[in-house]
Amino acid sequence: MKLPDPQAFANAWMSQFSDPNQWQSWFNMVPEVQSHPVTAILRDAGAAIKPDVIEQLKNDYIAQFSTLWQDFIGGKSPEVTDRRFSSAAWQSNPVTAFNAASYLLNAKFLTAMAESIEAAPQQQQRIRFAVQQVVDAMSPANFLATNPEAQQKLVETKGESLTKGLANMLADMNKGHISLSDESAFEVGKNLANTPGQVVYENDLFQLIQYTPTTETVHERPLLLVPPCINKFYILDLQPENSVVRYAVEQGNTVFLVSWRNPDQSLAKTTWDDYVDDGVINAIHLVQEITGQDKLNTLGFCVGGTLLSTSLAVMAARGENPASSVTLLTTFLDFSDTGVLSVFVDEAQVQLREQTLKSGGLMPGRDLATTFSSLRPNDLVWNYVQSNYLKGNEPPPFDLLYWNSDSTNLPGPMFCWYLRNTYLENNLKHPGKLTVAGEKVDLSAIDAPAFIYASREDHIVPWTSAYESNDILNPKKPKNNRFILGASGHIAGVINPASKNKRSYWTNDAAPKKGAKRLDANAWFDGATEHKGSWWPEWAAFLAEHGGKDVPAPKMHGSKKYLPIEAAPGRYVKAKAD
């Protein structure tokens, strides 16, 4: 994607409002603007903005820019509060402060223009998303010629920062991604994913890990964790102080975990049915056989939660009810509102994927990573362009961001099925509409108490969408569902260790009056109570409630039939995406 010159883009924007009759001239004045993909969207949508709204935008813009210009001419530096321009290099120089302020003004009104377009909700969201990508890209902080911090460091280091920046950029080009962390500081199995355990089973799709108990007694019912196959499982087992796996073990659970294989061409024809039958259902049966327990606590995170729920529904159709409880972390079951991710999914885009991948092939992990990075470009792209390339800095070690860059591929048929039947058509929530592994899927048939967790600032699974799982699971026993809302986002909200006592979470255990409908998400939040610290202890208490009696901890991993294969975290999680 070609990025527009920020000053030319800003000048074209200002020029547009110098003549109220020249709407189209904004697009035609500057080649960078005219050739940019977002321009076609805005040009086509131009007629969908009411003339009086355009006039008001124009008048507001002229008034605010005139004030900014007069202050600048009078020697008054504008006040800039955006954190991208908070350093003294931006604030102390009137020219750079004005440059930052004018950019923010242009960005504000370009965004307002996008917000004013009258269109269908999904189309409007796409316009807002496309405009935001351009707004973020055209920041003067992203270019050496307009970034005073980078220029200052260039002078202070006598050009060394530029040399290092170019070296960093070339290294990242060879790796195929922007370095978000010092990748040399981490190694999976040494200082990441190092909770003790053994791989006790493997097939072509996954390895099953059983972790070593740390307590003399454990709950008799084991706990099976199903992480997302879109990412590596060790997000749940980063380092000892922020490991969900280690915490669950320390709370007296016999913990098993599905470690998905990073697909290569040998798995290019693997389907969603395979992930359900050969993956999750197989893992449940293995845990039952190894422990001798018919019932187990289960947990699914993100796509892992969708897979787990689908698998339990398939098992219910087969007359099996293995779950003592179900925990869903930031999981979609109802895909009515998929937030900003909906900009990537429509019939045309899904058909394109199906034409190339439905019969076999791989969805590259780098493409998935790029998609997720585009949801937060300032935090996951431009921040590192400025620091690593313009200033020549080395990124500091950060375990979560190291994991974020450790991509996984997805089998094409599985990915296409998932896109069409969840994000596009929202079929999963409708009883009997889908057939998976030869069975009609009815999520309401899962007979197990549910612990449903969502993160308030989640941009991947909006918390209001996760909340809708309350209507899908246990519809005849709503009191069997427990909903917890945590602070922060999709990952940081989940990885919130109890020992750190950070952030907060919300609960609302008030049951609706007899005959009344369940509270909608906003009403639930209005009546919720905020608690300081981590939600993990609430989850641990839920597991204990459904974990059965306490029994002596197992003295061996696996069983006589399923002997240990290798130490955790195993080989599969270490495989890199091609």
User: What's the confidence (pLDDT) of residue 340?
Assistant: 87
Each residue of 101-113: pLDDT tens digit?
A: 999 998 998 888 8
> What's the angle, vertex CA 150, arms to CA 147 and CA 154, rounded to 5?
135
Whether 388 has a pLDDT exceeding 70, the answer reads: yes
Write down the CATH superfamily of domain 197-346+429-574: Alpha/Beta hydrolase fold, catalytic domain (3.40.50.1820)
Residue from 10, 180, 302, 314 carrying the catalytic annotation: 302
3-state secondary structure 542-573: HHHHCCCCEEECCCCCCCCCCCCCEECCCCHH
Each residue of 527-551: pLDDT tens digit?
A: 999 999 999 999 999 999 999 999 9
User: What's the confidence (pLDDT) of residue 245?
Assistant: 98
H or E segment at 506? strand 504-507
User: What's the confidence (pLDDT) of residue 499?
Assistant: 87
Q: Is 45 or 375 the better-scoring residue by pLDDT?
A: 375
Whether 195 has a pLDDT exceeding 50, the answer reads: yes
Please give the average per-residue pLDDT across 392-421, as a whole number: 95
Whether 31 has a pLDDT exceeding 60, the answer reads: no
Please give the average per-residue pLDDT across 149-158, as a whole number: 95
Q: Per mean pLDDT, which of 74-88, 126-140, 446-460 is the most reliable?
A: 446-460
206 three-state secondary structure: strand
416 is catalytic: no
Please give the average per-residue pLDDT across 299-324, as a whole number: 98
Q: For residue 37, what pLDDT band results from cuts at 50, 70 and 90?
A: very low
Each residue of 328-382: pLDDT tens digit?
A: 999 999 999 999 888 888 898 999 999 999 999 999 998 888 888 888 888 889 9
User: What's the confidence (pLDDT) of residue 513?
Assistant: 55
Phi, psi of 139 (to 5 degrees): -60, 135
- CA 195 to mean position of chain CA atoms: 24
Query: What tokens were used for 527?
Result: 């009546």
Q: Where in the chain is the domain with CATH 3.40.50.1820?
A: 197-346+429-574
Q: Say if CB 86 and CB 96 are below 8 A apart.
A: no
User: What's the confidence (pLDDT) of residue 510?
Assistant: 78
Cα–Cα separations (whole angstroms), residue 553 to 216, 220, 286: 6, 9, 18
Q: For residue 193, what pLDDT band results from cuts at 50, 70 and 90?
A: very high
- pTM here? 0.88
What's the whole-number average pLDDT of the chain?
89
